Amino acid sequence: MTRTVTLGFDVGVGSADGRAVAATVTAAENAGFGYVTFDDDDVATGGVDAVTRAAFVAATTSTVGLVATASTTYAEPFHLSSQLASLDYASRGRAGWVASRSLAPDVAAAWGREVVSADTDLVREQRDSVTVARGLWDSWEDDAVIRDFPTGRFLNQQKLHYVDFVGEEYSVKGPAIVPRPPQGQVVVFGRFGEIDADLLDVVLVENEADARAVTGAHVVLDVEAPGSPTAAAALVERIAALDDAIGGIRLRPDLIDDDLRVAARYVLPQLFERDLAHRPVPATTLRSTLGLARPVNRFEAAR
């Protein structure tokens, strides 16, 4: 059996036109991509935020994973975790999160906060944000809702948990306001070298050397999307010869809709034909598309 790769497509910061957003993501789903990533250009530069764009197409798509970029530097982790869990419910288990950083001082000014610029501080905010979100996603066990008519209890208190996160900068009590998401944990993506891979499900890398340095996560190589049939053929050969450390590729287009059409016609059909990749199966979760298990709830495991 040949080794297969997972396929992602980056739809960038996209359009503010709902129909255009939906048309692009639907085209990526029809082409057979496992997921799309929505970039976010942060509060300082406007545009529609990635979580909202991803949510807008959640109920009109069915197999493509919806991976929203959201910065960890200034946002409230409690809100972020709720937003991402809600995206997971609306998409029936196809939500992902690129946990990014905000580097521009303008972003701090828009939040009305002191600039976070030192690398150690950026690392801390990323780590704490992901830690809090993951804790909150486990704060309801899967079977916390019991509808126990004889005692009048809707919830089993024993299956709801305070997360009691205490960091250097803030603390979060919990539990979440949203029940545990369908995937158990929303799929968390991060850039190589920014966040400890232990906190991630997927690590995005720029080259094969970095890929070999990652352990314990699904590794995705960022590749420039081909703009022509010739470039597409070359990409197919490159994928056929990929290093074993790489589990998937993500195409970064120059012209989103044009490059998507090229990929749909000249890359994905060849990959499927040669058994180098598969279309997502119906009713799939993003986790299963990426070959990741549904995590056991930490509180259930500790019982």
Which residues would be at the binding site for other proteins (CB under 8 A)? 16-18, 21-22, 43-49, 51-53, 55-60, 74-79, 82-83, 85-87, 89-92, 106, 109-112, 140, 144-145, 147, 149, 151-157, 160, 169-175, 177-179
- In the complex, the smallest distance separating the C-beta of residue 300 from other proteins, rounded to whole angstroms, is 17
- In the complex, the smallest distance separating the C-beta of residue 271 from other proteins, rounded to whole angstroms, is 29
Which amino acid is it at 299?
F
- In the complex, the smallest distance separating the C-beta of residue 86 from other proteins, rounded to whole angstroms, is 4
Residue number, 115 or 233, with CB nearest to other proteins:
115
Residue number, 67 or 271, with CB nearest to other proteins:
67
Residue number, 119 or 168, with CB nearest to other proteins:
168
Residue number, 169 or 237, with CB nearest to other proteins:
169
Residue number, 127 or 218, with CB nearest to other proteins:
127
Spatial CB neighbours of 66, under 8 Å, sequence gap ≥ 6: 25, 35, 36, 38, 54, 55, 57, 58, 87, 91, 94, 95, 96, 286
For Cα atoms 132, 249, 216, give the angle at the middle one, nearest 5 degrees: 45
For Cα atoms 287, 296, 38, give the angle at the middle one, nearest 5 degrees: 30
- In the complex, the smallest distance separating the C-beta of residue 148 from other proteins, rounded to whole angstroms, is 9
Q: How far is CA 47 from CA 22, 53, 103, 239, in A?
A: 16, 10, 17, 34
Nearest-angstrom CA–CA distance, 216 and 276 = 22
- In the complex, the smallest distance separating the C-beta of residue 286 from other proteins, rounded to whole angstroms, is 16
> Beta partners for 248?
6, 220
Q: How many residues are recorded in the chain?
A: 303
Q: How far is CA 180 from CA 31, 96, 145, 225, 275, in A?
A: 31, 15, 11, 35, 35
What are φ and ψ of residue 188, in 5° steps?
-100, 125
Residue number, 46 or 193, with CB nearest to other proteins:
46
Enclosing H/E stretch for 205: strand 202-205
- In the complex, the smallest distance separating the C-beta of residue 25 from other proteins, rounded to whole angstroms, is 10
